[in-house]
Amino acid sequence: MTQPVSPHTATATAGRDDSSVRAKELARYLATDHGYGSVFTPLLPRVLVTHRHGSHESWTPDTPVQVLVNDVNAGKQRNVECKVLGHHDQNDVVFCITDEELDAPDLDLGVAPGARYLLLGCSNRSQRKPYSVSQGVISTTIPDANGLIRGDAPSIPGYSGGGCFSEETGKLFAVNVGKDDRNGGRAMLVHVASLLTLLRTHKGAPVPEWDWGEGA
């Protein structure tokens, strides 16, 4: 005898299916180095952002970097040349500028606590897909002393530098730069508005004209 499906179960299943479709659409906004040790997120068509791994010397300005970028359907990757634009010690953010324009996501300059997100990364290279994804909820939007906000999902290896996208709209609103070991390993995120402010400090950076408000 066939059992009736609970409307709550049906809704949850539909939600998982929608998230899976959204994740596949967003996968083109993920790049890695050739060793899959660093994850990069396109902030703008010619600007990649990542979390600084390794020595400071490896991220000095003008250092050449080769990255693998997912194609439109995320089924394979292609090589793209770029160079380091600069880094920021306070939150270990690194900006790179590419030789060519890449697909870049729409940006969301505002985010509220409770917003559901998809976090892209590359945690398992044994799988066929060149990306992985985790889900979470923004737990606080009040920046800490380093300008970081928090997501409730733990940040695991392979997700530092990955983009944090709205599950509802698909817009990029933050980039993951590590985990908060004092609070259950929660994801530590740099908001897009903060990233654009940091990017403006680099001479020649292709920053769009945003309405930054009075005093910006």
User: What's the pLDDT band for 213 if we cut at 50, 70, 90?
Assistant: very low
Helix (H, G, I), strand (E, B) or coil at 102: coil
Helix (H, G, I), strand (E, B) or coil at 20: helix
Residues 6+ apart with CB under 8 A from 160: 38, 39, 50, 51, 53, 121, 176, 177, 178
What is the C-alpha to C-alpha distance for residues 153 and 186, in angstroms, rounded to an integer? 6
Q: Which of 101, 39, 30, 95 is nearest to 62 (CA)?
A: 95
Token pair of 2 as six digits? 């066939």
| Residue 185: Cβ-neighbour burial (10 angstroms; 0-12, 13-18, 19+) | middle
* Cβ atoms of residues 69 and 31 within 8 Å: yes
Domains 28-103 and 116-196 share a fold: yes
Answer whether 0.95 is exceeded by the pTM: no
The superfamily CATH assigns to domain 116-196 is Trypsin-like serine proteases (2.40.10.10)
Q: Which of 136, 127, 189, 197 is nearest to 162 (CA)?
A: 189
**Per-residue pLDDT at 55:** 63
Check whether 104 has a pLDDT greater than 60.
yes
pLDDT per position as a tens digit, 169-207: 999 999 999 888 888 888 899 999 999 999 999 887 887
What is the C-alpha to C-alpha distance for residues 94 and 4, in angstroms, rounded to an integer? 52
User: CATH number of the domain at 28-103, please?
Assistant: 2.40.10
Query: End-to-end alpha-carbon separation of the chain, Å?
Result: 66
Q: How many CB atoms neighbour CB 25 within 10 A?
A: 16
What is the C-alpha to C-alpha distance for residues 29 and 133, in angstroms, rounded to an integer? 12
pLDDT per position as a tens digit, 62-103: 999 999 998 765 467 889 999 999 999 888 899 999 999 999
Domain extents in the chain: 28-103, 116-196
Check whether 214 has a pLDDT greater than 90.
no
User: What's the pLDDT band for 42 if we cut at 50, 70, 90?
Assistant: very high
Q: What is the DSSP letter of 107?
A: B
Token pair of 42 as six digits? 């396109």
Q: Calculate what percentage of the chain has a pLDDT beyond 70.
A: 81
